[in-house]
Chains A and B, each alone.
Chain A
Amino acid sequence: MKHFAFADIGEAQRLPRIVCLGPRTYGVVFSLMKLLPAWYILSSAAKRGELGTDTVIVETTSGTFGLGLAMQTALSGHQLILVGDPAIDKRLRDRLEGMGAQVEIVTEPAKHGGIQQARLDRVAEIRAQHPDSYCPDQYANPDNPLSYSYVAEVIAESVGQVDCLVGPIGSGGSMCGTTRHLRTAFGDMRAIAVDTHHSVIFGQADGHRGLRGLGNSLMPANVDHGVFDEVHWIGEADAYAASRRLLRGHALFTGPTSGAAFHVGRWWANANPDATTVIMCPDEGYRYQDTVYNPHWIAERGLDGPVSSEPDTVATPGDGVGAWSRFDWGRRQLAEVLAANGAR
Chain B
Amino acid sequence: MATCDVTDDARRAPFDTFPLHQPLVGRRFGHGQSIGHHGELLQGTFEDSDGLRHRALVTLPLPGLVTHAYFHPGPGAPGRVTVKPAWKRKAAAAAELILSRYLPTASGELVIHGAGAQPGLGLGSSTSDVTAALRAVADCYALPVTAADLARLAVEAEGASDSVMLDSQVVLFAHRCGHVLESFNRLLPHIVVVGCDTDPDRGGVDTLGFRPPEHTAAEIGEFRCLLGLLRHGLSTGSVSLLAKVAEASARINQRYLPTREFDNLSTIARETGGLGIQVSHSGTVAGILFDGSVPGAVSRAEDCQRILRKRGFEDPWVFHSHSVKDGR
Contact = CB atoms under 8 A, between A and B. Distances in A.
Interface of A: 43-44, 143, 146, 148-150, 152-161, 181-182, 184-186
Contacts of B236: 160
A153 B248 contact: no
Contact of A156 (B221, B229, B252): B229
Interface of B: 51, 217-218, 220-222, 224-229, 231-233, 236, 238, 240-241, 244-245, 248, 252
B238 A153 contact: no
B47 to A, nearest CB: 10
A149 B222 contact: yes
Interface of A is mostly: helix
Contact of B221 (A149, A154, A185, A186): A149
A149 B221 CA distance: 5
Contact of B222 (A43, A160, A184): A184
A277 B15 CA distance: 52
Nearest to B216: A146
B75 to A, nearest CB: 53
Given A157-B231, A160-B236, A185 B218 contact: no
A153 B240 CA distance: 18
Nearest to A143: B217
13 contacts: A149-B221, A150-B224, A152-B228, A153-B224, A153-B227, A156-B228, A157-B229, A160-B229, A160-B232, A181-B221, A184-B225, A185-B245, A185-B248
A181 B223 CA distance: 9
B270 to A, nearest CB: 12
B172 to A, nearest CB: 13
Q: Which of A158, A161, A181, A184 gathers most chain B CB within 10 Å?
A: A184
B224 A149 contact: yes
Contacts of A143: 217
Given A152-B225, A181-B225, A185-B226, A160 B238 contact: yes
B280 to A, nearest CB: 20
Contacts of B220: 149
Contacts of B225: 149, 152-153, 156, 181-182, 184-185
Contacts of A146: 217-218, 221
Q: Which of B220, B229, B245 gathers most chain A CB within 10 Å?
A: B229
A154 B248 contact: no
A44 B221 CA distance: 13
A152 B222 CA distance: 9
B171 to A, nearest CB: 17
Nearest to B236: A160
A148 B217 CA distance: 12
A309 to B, nearest CB: 34
A143 B218 CA distance: 9
Given A153-B225, A182-B225, 6 more contacts: A146-B218, A153-B224, A155-B228, A157-B231, A158-B232, A184-B222
Top 3 A-B residue pairs of the complex, sorted by shortest distance between their CB atoms: A149-B221, A157-B228, A153-B228
A184 B248 contact: yes
Nearest to B217: A146
A157 B226 contact: no
Given A158-B232, A185-B244, A152 B224 contact: yes
Contacts of B241: 160-161, 185
B248 A156 contact: no
A156 B231 CA distance: 9
B136 to A, nearest CB: 38
Contacts of B51: 43
Q: Which of A157, A181, A185 gathers most chain B CB within 10 Å?
A: A185
A149 B225 CA distance: 6
A158 B225 CA distance: 11
Contacts of A158: 232
B232 A181 contact: no
A182 B236 CA distance: 19
Nearest to A154: B228
